[in-house]
Structure formats: structure tokens, C-alpha cells
Copies of this chain bind each other. A is one copy, B any other.
Amino acid sequence: MSVNPDLVRERSKCSFQPLELTHMLDGGEAKTLERKNTEDAFLSDPNFKDAIPTEYLSHKEKYEEAVRKACYLFKRFQEYTEEHGGGGMKQFAEILGGKLGSAILKDGSPITLHYVMFIPAIMGQGTPEQQAEWISRAWNCNIIGTYAQTELGHGTFIRGLETVAVYDEKTQEFVLNSPTLTAYKWWPGGLGHSANYAVVVAQMYTKGKCHGIQPFIVQLRDEETHMPMPGIKIGEIGSKMGLNSTNNGFLGFENVRIPRMHMLMKNAQVLENGTFIKAPNSKLTYGTMMFVRVVLIQEMVNYLSKAVTIATRYSAVRHQSQPKPNEPEPQILDYVTQQYKLIPNIATCFAFNFTAEWLWEYYNIVSSELEAGELDRLPELHAIACCLKAVCTADASAAVETCRLSCGGHGYMTSSNLPNTYSLTTAACTYEGENTVLLLQTARYLIKSWEQALNGAPLTPTVSYLGKYAKNEKYVWKSTIEGILRGFQEIAAKKIALCASNIAAHLKNGMSNEDAWNITSVQLVAAAEVHCRCFIIDKFNERMQVKAANLSPNLRKVLLLLLDLYVVYWTLKCSGDFLRFTNITGKHLDELQERLEVTLTKLRPEAVGIVDGFDIRDEILASPLGAFDGRVYERLMEEAMKSPLNAEPVNKSFHLYLKPLMRSQL
């Protein structure tokens, strides 16, 4: 198959071997091979191909097609893991979530929550007996479950949930009710028409007293007929901006009775006589929630890598304008404004990738400590995971959208896969904890840490830099990466200090704690964000330096340029903070601007090579703009021809409406 000559030329100009980058990103040649084999096993399967692209189907047809694929995928996944071993939660997330899953079910799966939340909830919160009762049936897909927590009226604020489960000593049952419309469960994936069981989170009452939210296993539908069980009001919540195959549902309860032992009782318990036994530690259920946030950041890398690959290859194929008379139109990648839109976002993929790597490792350390009953590091993990989730999802969304816009009109085509990638990325700004709320949780940790720093108390590693600034250490500006990182830390520390002193001033004026916090919250969000940027730059720098050391000189040079670009880019973006809180000068900023421009120019010929190194298969990119062969225009036309409207030269609406209009004398 012929490759677009512009891409051939780009590849010949690239200074390094993209395969070396691929191996580095996969974690070695063997892992690359393994990944490629898995991709091949699934993506070459004709059962996963769409006869007509799903965007042309009705909402209902989209759902039906998604159920077909998802069921087949579950079966194939089980077969595959039996052949190749594995099959744990992480592998499920890697194979069925991530890049591969998104290639098969482009707009989400109606039964993914079964593996991602239903089974983990039972494993994490069920007693050994409960696990024995439920896990094997769930694991074999004899039942399909979901996780029903969010309600129509409450999301991020879990304590406010309204669904009630009242223990009835006489029958030893819980009675579930939705006392109001806002108490209806709303959003759980697969809840609409797919799952027949759910873990339901409800306010638990026994002996007339509320003991807060507890998890319950509830049967939603008859296993034989799939009809809703008595008292269960259920359906889907309707069309969304994206994720239209996930079958998000609503769920109301009217005196639904379940046996006592359907409350998951690993932590808190209700005895037969209705006595409530508290969980030894309320933070024990924290782990699962954290897991999703940790995985999420890797998901952001997946989405963004796709978007930059598509936009970069397109920018090498697309030509526009004629700045120099008598010369051909340049590739749009030659325009520095275009490079500025793309290459910093390529660098972001690495920054987030390394940060996700660190977070995964740290999560595993804290998790195993948790198992051993040690909770010391949980607040720190929580604080850093909150801000990382918020900043990475927000940055990734903005970056994907920049990539989409950089492709001009063609980025607006559904077939470009950029609109869908954006819909999926931006969804993550809201689910699993709304970003502003999460940043304020980090801010709370930072304010507390700042007080500790002022008191000379020990600080956890992620905030240890605060110690230096609490002692008011002074620095001479240096535009090295380390110097800039120190500058970011200085900004974060001084912003946190400023928030603390503003809050103190409000308190002194008689404001309540809560009101003082609220009025300062815009500044607190900004402080938490810059703290997060410090952290990302720190991890990016740390890991890139180590990894680059083992690479061939040319690739090393390119990766270190990307690191430099990322750091300089964010310094210039935050120039107000730098001028305000560090002793950087305008002259330094001019130099950094020039450094940015020069770095972009140096990375320009490497751009296609880098995204080639991401090694994302065409089926995963799923975009005529981004395919490896660069046949952009041919593929756009091929995609257009798949529209069912193009199957007939004249649509019936001509005869029904247009012709009568044209024949009438208006």
C-alpha cells in the first residue's frame, strides 16, 4: 500500500529509530511484542468490525450493537486469559479499557462496570462468605452487575445520598426505598437495560437510627426474563455528549426487600437482631475509589496520545497558503503556530505517562500498607491523587481539543475520531470526583501542611518543598530545569502562604471558618493547581533523565528536548506567577520565549517519528486523518461513502418536502 510522500519524507528526516521509543514506552522489547500480539488477537477479529459506522445508527441500534460486541468481547477475553494466563483487574483494564477497548467499543461498553466496579466492590467490601457466594457467579458472567451510587440529586457529595435501606428485624431483611425523585440512582453504567444485579449504596437505618451509607447487593431483574423485579423502577437516562453505548441508567426503589446478608459486611455489620457494628476504620473502603483515579491518568495518556498522533500526521500531510511566492504551499506542520499547538502536547503525553507510573507504584505501596492496617500515607496519597486527577483530566481535555481544532474543519468530522476522543476525555473532568472539588481537597491538605511547615513539623515527601519557603530561603533565578522547578515550588509555597494569610485575615474580621474558606476558594484552587504542576514537572524530569540515560544519543536528545519544551512552555504560561513570586525578570522571559521557538524548530523534524514511536495501530486511532499511510483525503472520502444517506442518489425527503416547496408559489 502506498504511503503519502510527505510522511515518507518526514520519516526519512527523523533522527532516531521510533522502534526504540516504542520499546522504552512499553517497558522493553518483549512487552512490545506481547502488546502487539494481544492487539492482533482482538483487532483482527471480524466480529468487532462495524458494518456501518455506529454514528449513523439510531440510539437504540447503537445500544444493541454495543451489547453484541461487549458480550462477544467478554467471551473472547475469558478465552484469551485462559490461553495466556492473567485475567486480573489490571489486565482487564489494560485489554478492555485503554486503547484496545476503545478501538472495539468506541463509545463505551454497557457491561464494563461488571468487571471494573461490581466485582471489585464485592471483593473489597464483602465478607469471605459473601465473596464465596457471589464472586464465582459474577466471574463467570452468570450474573452481570453494576455499581449504583450516584443519584439524580447527589454526586460528588456522597454523604448526601438519599436512598434508604431500613433493617426490619422481624423478617431480617432490609427494605430499600427512594423517598424522593432526587433519590433515584442516576448515571451507573449498564444499569439501564443490561445488568441484572447491582451493588447499591444507601443510607442504612437500624433500630430507628441512621448509620450512614453502606453497600448492598440488589437483584434488579429476573434472571430468566430480565423483567424488572417488583418495586424496581429502572431505565436508561438518555442520550449524552459521549459514552452512548454505556447504557447509563436510573433506578428507584419502592419497598424492595433484600435478605440481611445482602449488605456487604466486611467492614460494618448489622447483626440478626439489628445491632450495628461499626467498621474498625472508615477509611478502609478508600482504596477502590483511589484505584479508579490512578488508572484514569493512564487513560488520559491514551486519549491524548491518539489525538496528537492524528493531528501530527495530518499536519504533515496537509498543505496550506503560500507565504513565499513561487514556492509550493508548506505543510501546516511548518507553521510555528501549528507546532506550538501540537508539540507541547506531545511532551504532555510523556509528562503524564511518567506521573501515572509513579502514582501507580505509590498506590501499590500504600495499598499493601493498608492491608497491614497502616493508614499513615493515605492522606498524602489522597491529596496528590486528587490534584493529579483534576489537572491531568483538565489538561488532557484542553490538549485533545487543541489537537482537534488544529485539524481545521476535518477535525469536526466524526470520522476523524477527535470529537469522540474529546467527549471521552472531558467526561473524566466530572466523573470520579468533580475537578474543582478535588482541587479544594488537595488545598486543604496544603494549608495544613503549610501550618506544619511554619511550625517546623515534619512534612510528607510531596509537600516537603514547603519547608524551604517557610524558612524564607532566597534564590537567584536560574533558567535550568531545576531552577524553573524551584521557581514553581516557590510559587506554590507563596500562593499557599497567601491563601493562609487571607483566610486568617477574614477570620480576624469575624468571618466563620467556612465562609473564609469559601471566599478564598478561587485562590485555593489556583494554589493546588500550581502545586500539582510542580509535582508533574518533578516526576517528568526525574524519570526522563533516568530513562534517557540508557537510550541511543539521538533519541535521548529528542526526549530531553521534549522535557525542556514542556517546562519552558508552562513557565511562559504561568509568567504572571513567576514575575510575582520569583525573581525572574522580563529578560529571562524573552530568553525563554526564544528557547521555546528554537526548541519547536528543533523538534519539528522529529514530530512524526515521535508519534510513530507511540505505535498506535490504525484500528485504535480510527481516524482517516491519522492513519499510518497518511492517505488522508482518500480515507475521508471512503468514510463519507459509508453514510447510509449516500446509498441513494435522491432521498425521499425530496419528494415529500423539497419538491412541493419548490413547486408552490410562495
Contacts and interface: CB of A to CB of B under 8 A. Distances in A.
A70 to B, nearest CB: 8
A3 interface: no
B322 A192 contact: no
A340 interface: yes
| Identical chains bound together, number | 2
A643 interface: yes
Interface string A113-146: 0000000000000000000000000001111100
B643 A143 contact: no
25 contacts: A58-B61, A59-B644, A67-B653, A67-B658, A71-B657, A75-B664, A142-B662, A152-B633, A152-B636, A157-B320, A157-B321, A160-B319, A181-B637, A182-B633, A196-B662, A223-B662, A226-B659, A235-B643, A238-B415, A238-B640, A324-B512, A498-B590, A519-B601, A576-B577, A579-B579
B430 A405 contact: yes
Nearest to A70: B657
Contact of A241 (B154, B336, B419): B419
A1 interface: no
Nearest to A58: B58
A267 interface: no
Contacts of A519: 336, 597, 601
A614 to B, nearest CB: 24
A477 interface: no
A646 B413 contact: no
A336 B522 contact: yes
Interface stretch (A49-57, A204-212, A276-284, A540-548): A49-57
Interface string A648-665: 011111101111111111
A423 to B, nearest CB: 8
Q: Which 6 A-B pairs have the closest CB atoms?
A: A575-B576, A576-B576, A241-B419, A67-B653, A239-B414, A579-B579
A185 B436 CA distance: 45
B140 A642 contact: no
A560 interface: no
A68 interface: yes
Contacts of A575: 576-577, 579-580
A27 interface: no
B580 A586 contact: yes
Contacts of A650: 193, 221, 225-227
A640 B324 contact: no
Interface in A37-79: 53, 55-61, 63-64, 67-68, 70-72, 74-75, 78
Interface string A565-595: 0000000001111111000001001100100
A666 B64 CA distance: 22
B238 A336 contact: no
A640 to B, nearest CB: 4
A236 interface: yes
A367 interface: no
A323 interface: yes
A228 interface: yes
Contact of A153 (B58, B153, B633): B633
A187 interface: yes
Contact of A521 (B329, B337, B412, B419): B337
A427 interface: yes
A641 interface: yes
Interface string A600-640: 01000000000000000000000000000000011011011
Most buried by B among A236, A577, A660: A236
A219 interface: no
A335 interface: yes
Given A653-B64, A659-B226, A409 B642 contact: no
B589 A651 contact: no
A154 B410 CA distance: 11
A218 interface: no
A664 B184 CA distance: 33
A187 B334 CA distance: 25
A59 B184 CA distance: 32
A60 B514 contact: no
A645 B236 contact: yes
B660 A71 contact: yes
A336 to B, nearest CB: 5
Contacts of A324: 512, 514
Contacts of A20: none
A99 to B, nearest CB: 21
Contacts of A59: 55-57, 643-645
B192 A645 contact: yes
Contact of A239 (B236, B239, B643): B643
Contacts of A157: 320-322, 329
A226 B430 contact: no
A517 B337 CA distance: 11
